[in-house]
Chains A and B, each alone.
Chain A
């Protein structure tokens, strides 16, 4: 590991001033991903600015009935927050499905959004990787890619974003607030993650040196009937090979409102807007759910060893919407 300096920030202006726009400095939150990447040499910061003691550890109900979540709130604290469990069960379920109890106690909301892909080639500094070393190539496309992207990937990178939490946040139209030395800014989560294209090393639209301060979700009454379902290769403590966050409101057999996002299929949490359009105003039937899933997955471009994800994701969408339609009718 490269030697590094360490500073502990106590206020937000101090943190962004310490960080500057220098690429050699990193913010340190819970460290569950960054410390590991420093051990393997993927990340080599010269200075760490520890932001965990910043006064960003609160979850507040906003005036319009949404939630404003501080960036240093731990995954555990957010998962067990009564308002999250009551208003956005899919968000609580996604958080609880992630990592282990130990890691959820350490990991922060801001860090969760910024965590890096678990692609094995990205983590291996002896291998080429366009995300780690731009222009060096992508061995996953002809190599090990059974858990890689089927949507929105490019010939330069097929890595997935590993977050569970970000999937319901995408469905909820969350907004990310940040601070820089030049002042604050906001990014809707839909614009937060950049398209892969030929620049897989550029992952977010955050300006250089920006510090995530809050994530805000709107009131979204539809989310009161919502779930997150995650499929993985063992029963617990593993990354998803497919996941879905879904919220559904049905009245008189008709889909009044639906929110749908997919995990483990793309370089970002994948908002299933084509499926939402196909469903809204139509019948809440298994046939309609399947047709909507097919509409979303028509754009899928699987590789030889991850085509199973198309079927898996389709079935996940249908089963979760079917379950929610029953719950919504109660």
Chain B
């Protein structure tokens, strides 16, 4: 019996269901760009080494070049085209514009998708390789420049816009922490979250 080497799949992308036939060899990145006309996700190395193709899969950042489209069926995929709220840019997008977090722009969609996840991972208390003490009792480290550089190290920028990228991620993280502190305050809760707002401007 010959194996089927292609399938008709349904991908959930940016809140929409899109049905398409794919050869099983098609990566999620190629499906997004060549089949669904979502060309925001970029192909840099196509080997998982540069991060330009970073998207969110079930809310977590992943490289779409090392994921077969057929294996992504049933999962929620968010690309750079889906992070804004209508005409209102995502705070990370706005921070990259305000602080000039790019030069040529090719790596930017991947940088922004990655940064959105970095801020959420940090808020969830995830340590990183830059964290001095990983034990849970030590608590989450402040999201300072060293932490941001380590957490964003999967996204290369060959223009070398790293200085501004770190600043943009720090500003977006501060804004997110401010919001979360306000939410807690509005609920009569504590303001512990505000302490972490002393991040970077380096």
Q: Which residue numbers of A lie inside 8 Å of B, CB to CB?
A: 1, 3-6, 8, 28, 31-32, 35-36, 39, 46-48, 50, 52, 76, 79-80, 82, 85-86, 89, 92-93, 96-97, 99-103, 105-106, 235-237
Contacts and interface: CB of A to CB of B under 8 A. Distances in A.
Interface of B: 3-5, 7, 23-25, 27, 46-48, 51, 54, 57, 60-63, 66-68, 70-71, 114, 117-118, 121, 124-129, 131, 134-137, 149-155
22 contacts: A3-B23, A4-B24, A6-B68, A8-B71, A31-B66, A31-B68, A32-B48, A32-B66, A35-B68, A36-B47, A46-B3, A80-B124, A80-B125, A96-B131, A100-B154, A101-B61, A101-B114, A101-B151, A103-B66, A105-B57, A106-B62, A235-B149
A122 to B, nearest CB: 15
Nearest to B70: A6
Nearest to B66: A35
Nearest to A35: B66
A285 B149 CA distance: 36
Contacts of B131: 96
Contacts of B117: 101
Given A1-B25, A3-B24, A28-B71, A100 B153 contact: yes
A86 B137 contact: yes
Given A82-B136, A89-B134, A5 B4 contact: yes
Contacts of B135: 85-86, 89
A253 to B, nearest CB: 25
A102 B127 contact: no
List the 4 closest A-B pairs by CB distance, nearest first.
Answer: A100-B154, A5-B3, A236-B153, A3-B5
Contact of A97 (B24, B62, B129): B129
Contact of A101 (B66, B67, B121): B121
A1 B23 CA distance: 11
Given A102-B51, A237-B154, A6 B63 contact: no
A47 B201 CA distance: 51
